[in-house]
Amino acid sequence: MKDLKENLLVGFISLIVLVWTIFPIYNMIITSFKPWREVWMATYFPHHPTLEAYITIINQSYFRVHKYWLWLWNSIRVSLEVMVLGALIGLLAGYTICERSALRSFIKGTARMISLLVYIFPASLLSIPIYILLMNYHLLNTDIGLALSLATLVSPFNAWMAAEYLNSIPKEIEEAALVDGASTFQVYFKILLPLIRPAIIALSVYSFIFSWNNYLYPLLIIQDEDKFLLPVALGAFLQADDDPWHIFFAAGLIYAVPPLVLYYAFRRYLVSGLFRGAVKI
């Protein structure tokens, strides 16, 4: 009886959290199908559903979305750059600080600890020194400057995860390859990397989504309208109270499609990639 009550309580709390989480998304969806005259009406379903907002975005016929597809492509391109840079830096740094590295244990342990401690500082606090650094190297208002900034933020976590995953691989595999005459370079790229493919995919997806959802750094670094990322461009909707929110919500839903596709394409790798490294094989 006690277990039944506990299960009912947990189920009830979970239901409340689920509704609390899903309702804003549901509100976005139904509002995107409303005509302008119904946007401010508190209804759970549009009385006259229409594709007006989506047609407006496709045709780019509203001035706040007049370069929507260009901005969307900018977001995709920068996120792919961060995905490659973040995963590459994380994998190389992870191998350096993992247990099989030739560095001293104290140095490796300290590096792993620091790779997580850096996240106690908010990204907004690091924005000023990163902005000054990019300005000194003339990388402001460039894709590579933005990609390097975002990769800097995501790489410490990637390095820690890659190190933990590499630690889960038996050292005997590497030792056998070295005995057969393989170099450290060959062991890493031909043996270890294929074994940690789920981790590579998980870190790549994490880097992509981290970049995709970032608003502050694209806002600070990019000034040219043609180089805007979509979150920054859509922020213009917040400058007035009478903007067509159905178009804003439709634009946001379209913007959510690429990471959803990426997630569902590789979801079977994500759980194993992010959690398998916590358990020794």
Model pLDDT, residue 4: 76
**How far, in Å, CA of 217 to CA of 185, rounded?**
35
Which string of b and e fits 46-66 if b means at least 16 CB within 10 Å? beeeeebbbebbeeeebebbe
The whole domain housing 204 covers 65-227+259-278
pLDDT digits (tens, 9 = 90+) for 156-204: 999 988 888 888 888 888 888 888 888 878 888 888 888 888 888 889 9
Residue 251 lies in a domain: no
- Which is it for the CA torsion 224, 229, 234, 239, positive or negative? negative
CATH number at residue 125: 1.10.3720.10
pLDDT digits (tens, 9 = 90+) for 146-164: 999 999 999 999 998 888 8
Model pLDDT, residue 130: 94
Residue 264 lies in a domain: yes
Residue 1 lies in a domain: no
pTM reported for the whole predicted model? 0.87
Residue 155 lies in a domain: yes
Instruction: Characterise 181 by phi-psi region: left (phi > 0), alpha (psi -120 to 50), beta (else).
Output: left
Residue ranges for the chain with pLDDT beneath 70:
1-2, 102, 271-281
Residue 236 lies in a domain: no
pLDDT digits (tens, 9 = 90+) for 214-233: 999 999 999 999 999 999 99
User: Nearest 5°: CA angle at 159, between 268 and 113?
Assistant: 120
247 within 8 A of 51, measured Cβ to Cβ: no
DSSP the chain: -HHHHHHHHHHHHHHHHHHHHHHHHHHHHHHHTS-GGGTTS--SS-SS---HHHHHHHHT-SGGGTTHHHHHHHHHHHHHHHHHHHHHHHHHHHHHHSTTSSS-HHHHHHHHHHHHHGGGS-HHHHHHHHHHHHHHTT-TTSHHHHHHHHHHHHHHHHHHHHHHHHHTS-HHHHHHHHHTT--HHHIIIIIIHHHTHHHHHHHHHHHHHHHHT--HHHHHH---GGG--HHHHHGGGGG-SSS-HHHHHHHHHHHTHHHHHHHHHHHHHHHHHHHGGGS--
Residue 175 lies in a domain: yes
Model pLDDT, residue 278: 47
Give the count of domains, the chain: 1
